């Protein structure tokens, strides 16, 4: 399985979570974000 075929869950949408999501999205990953404190419309 290649990285681009992966689904990735990220807990926390702070600066590290957002940057990680951006990086993985460039590889074609499906991104799932969760933040228990805030609802973000990011990915």
pLDDT value at position 31? 96
E strand segments, the chain:
7-11, 30-34
The CA distance from 8 to 30, in Å, is 6
CA angle centred on 17, ends 15 and 21, rounded to 5°? 115
pLDDT value at position 22? 96
pLDDT value at position 2? 87
Residue 9 has a CB neighbour count (10 Å cut-off) of: 9
- Tell me: the pLDDT tens digits for 1-43? 788 899 999 999 899 999 999 999 999 999 999 988 876 565 5
Beta carbons within 8 Å of 42's beta carbon, 6+ residues apart? 13, 18, 21, 33
The CA distance from 4 to 41, in Å, is 22
């Amino acid at each position: 399985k290649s990285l681009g075929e992966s689904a990735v869950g990220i807990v926390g949408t702070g600066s590290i979570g957002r940057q990680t999501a951006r990086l993985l999205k460039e590889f074609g990953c499906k991104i799932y974000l969760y933040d228990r404190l805030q609802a973000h419309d990011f990915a």
